[in-house]
């Protein structure tokens, strides 16, 4: 009996070790590819990171999920970007786009919308206390921001609500490349953060404003690099989802009835985005969030609304 227990314990230890190695590799391994001669994208466990190469050094958009990733992204970005980081831009407040920030030296310029900084303070304040307090965004804007670094122009825009209430998109002007953050999940079902001002009902119109910008290539928040056609495909899905949710709510349908009646057409090539035991963004999740907004079961909260606690 004692020998069996010992064997079982040894097997469990071995499995835990294998799992630890897998998770470490999953977190720390990064892939990258060139989008243009001056723009690269880094893929890993988190949102896509963009790196712009300038005459003075790197501009980095988003920093993934863990400080250990941030340290690896920093080293890779400064190699791809031609020198020290000149600025970091956070597209929105979620951990998988910001929690790598502490890897950058104190005093690094970190750009975001004012709304994103407020959401960080409201929903993620514990992470940004103590030694990492100086890693939160420190260069804030409301609607439009521009950096001119060496030979490159970087414009950031807050064009409306969608994934959250504070999303920005980043345009690398000379390279005609757009990083959308999580306003665009390329052939992935999106997260919809109603509690931080997100809105399915307003998302398609926000994307219409995004599509009015001057770009050719698109780096999504999640999924592979694409072009305008990929962004239009996602916009069609969001518009279809919003219309279906409005019709369901107007008919007084319950969530269960809504899920059963769903007959969406523009998500045929979509995949779920999930991490076991943490989250699962799939068709049912997207429909539920859209129904919650349209039916009033969950009310999107914007800054300035007394319910937000941020006036």
108 in a structural domain: yes
- What is the per-residue pLDDT for 25? 52
* Tens digits of pLDDT across the chain (311 residues): 555 545 444 434 333 333 333 445 566 789 999 999 999 999 999 999 999 999 999 999 999 999 999 999 999 999 999 999 999 999 999 999 999 999 999 999 999 999 999 999 999 999 999 999 999 999 999 999 999 999 999 999 999 999 999 999 999 999 999 999 999 999 999 999 999 999 999 999 999 999 999 999 999 999 999 999 999 999 999 999 999 999 999 999 999 999 999 989 999 999 998 888 788 999 999 999 999 999 999 876 666 554 454 43
- What is the per-residue pLDDT for 19? 34
Distance CA 176, CA 169 (A): 13
97, 282 contact by CB (below 8 A): no
200 in a structural domain: yes
9 in a structural domain: no
CATH code where residue 213 lies = 3.60.15.10
Q: What is the dihedral of CA 286, 287, 288, 289, to 10 degrees?
A: 50
What does the DSSP 8-state code read for residue 105? P
13 in a structural domain: no
Segment (H or E) for 136: none
112, 128 contact by CB (below 8 A): no
Count of structural domains within the chain = 1
Going by their DSSP bridges, the two strands 152-157 and 169-172 should be labelled as antiparallel
164, 193 contact by CB (below 8 A): yes
- What is the per-residue pLDDT for 10? 42
17 in a structural domain: no
155 in a structural domain: yes
Give residue 49's domain range: 33-308
242 in a structural domain: yes
11 in a structural domain: no
Residue 114: which region, alpha, beta or left (left: phi > 0; alpha: psi -120 to 50)? alpha
What are the backbone angles phi and psi of residue 252, rounded to the nearest 5°?
A: 75, 25
- What is the per-residue pLDDT for 300? 66
66, 110 contact by CB (below 8 A): no
């Amino acid at each position: 009996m004692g020998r069996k227990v010992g064997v079982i314990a040894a097997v469990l230890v071995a499995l835990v070790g294998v799992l630890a190695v897998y998770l470490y590799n999953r977190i720390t391994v990064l892939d990258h590819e060139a989008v243009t001669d001056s723009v690269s994208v880094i893929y890993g466990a988190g949102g896509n990171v963009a790196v712009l190469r300038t005459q003075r050094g790197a501009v980095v958009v988003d920093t993934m999920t863990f400080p250990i990733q941030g340290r690896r992204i920093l080293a890779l970005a400064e190699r791809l970007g031609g020198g020290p980081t000149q600025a970091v831009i956070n597209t929105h407040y979620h951990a998988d786009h910001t929690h790598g920030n502490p890897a950058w030296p104190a005093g690094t310029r970190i750009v975001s919308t004012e709304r994103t900084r407020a959401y960080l303070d409201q929903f993620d304040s514990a992470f940004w206390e103590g030694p990492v307090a100086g890693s939160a965004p420190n260069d804030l804007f409301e609607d439009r921001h521009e950096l001119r670094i060496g030979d490159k122009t970087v414009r950031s825009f807050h064009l409306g609500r969608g994934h959250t209430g504070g999303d920005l998109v980043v345009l690398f002007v000379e390279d005609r490349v757009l990083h959308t953050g999580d306003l665009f999940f390329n052939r992935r079902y999106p997260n919809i953060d109603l509690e931080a001002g997100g809105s399915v009902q307003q998302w398609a119109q926000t994307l219409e404003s995004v599509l009015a910008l001057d770009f050719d290539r698109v780096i999504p928040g999640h999924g592979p690099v694409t072009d305008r056609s990929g962004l239009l495909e996602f916009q069609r899905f969001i518009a279809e989802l919003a219309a279906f949710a409005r019709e369901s709510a107007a008919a007084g349908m319950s969530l269960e009835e809504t899920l059963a009646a769903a007959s969406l057409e523009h998500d045929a090539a979509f995949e779920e985005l999930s991490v076991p035991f943490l989250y699962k963004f799939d068709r049912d999740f997207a429909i539920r969030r859209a129904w919650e907004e349209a039916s009033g079961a969950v009310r999107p909260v914007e800054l300035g609304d007394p319910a937000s606690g941020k006036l």
